[in-house]
Amino acid sequence: MKLALCYFGLIRGFKFQHVYESHKKYIYDVLQEQNIEFNVFISTYDKDYDANNIEKIPNVKKINKTSDEKITEQLKPIAEKFKCPKYYTEELRLNLLKCWYSQKDLYKMLLEANENYDYIIVMDIGQLILNELDSIKSLDQNYIYVPNFAHHNGYCGRMLIGNMKNMLFFLKKYDYILEDPNINIHPETFYKHYIENIGKIVVKYLKFKFWRCRTNGDLVKDFH
C-alpha cells in the first residue's frame, strides 16, 4: 500500500518540538508500523516560515513555498467577490482562499509526481495531534473520512483521508469556487456541499483529534 501525506497551511506550528513530535508519534511512526509506504508533499507560504523540524519529516517528496505577499495581492480582489458569514473579516476571507489555493497547489504536485497512491491524507500542518490514526488498511476506499468534531453544520476540513480520485477532487475545489462567486464560502458547510452534492461522495468519521497551534504556541481546543 502506498500513501501520500499532503500538508497545507503555515509551517509555524512545527517550530515547536511537541507539535512535530505529535506528528511523528501519531502519523509517521504509525504508518511505518503498518508497513505503509508514504511520501510527503508540503504547500506553504513564507509568512511565519520556520524550517525547524521540517528537515526531520521523513520521505518528503516536494515542498512548495509561495510568497505570502504576492499571493495576497493576487487573491484580494477575488476574495472581495464571495459571500461569507457576516463575521468574516477581510483577513479571514483571504486566509480561507489561501488555504484552498495551497490545496490546489498540492493537487498539481500530485499530478506532477505521476505516482499512484492508494490513499491520500490532506492535513493542515499547524496542529498538535492527540491520538493515532485508525488503521489505514481497515478503511473503505469508497468514502472520504473526516474527524468527528468541529463540524459547524458541515465537515471539518483540516484533515481528510480518501482514495486518490476522491482526494484529487477535494483538492481542486478552488477552481469550482472561481466559477461561481455567489457560493457562500463558510468552510465547513461548503465542504459538505462540495463533497456530497457535487462529488457524490459519502463521508464517514474518524476518531482523530488535534488542536490548532497559533504562531505564539497557544492551542485552540475546539472539540464540538
pLDDT digits (tens, 9 = 90+) for 50-93: 787 888 899 999 999 999 999 999 999 988 888 887 888 888 88
Eight-class DSSP state of 15: G
- CATH of the domain spanning 2-220: 3.90.550.10
Annotated domain spans of the chain = 2-220
Taking the model in full, what pTM does it have?
0.94
- Note the pLDDT tens digit of each residue in 106-165: 999 999 999 999 999 999 998 999 998 878 889 999 999 999 988 888 999 999 999 999
Long-range CB pairs of 134-142 (<8 Å, 24+ gap) are 134/206, 134/207, 134/208, 135/34, 136/1, 136/3, 136/31, 136/34, 136/36, 136/161, 137/1, 137/34, 137/36, 140/204, 142/202
Task: Write down the mean pLDDT value for the chain.
Answer: 91
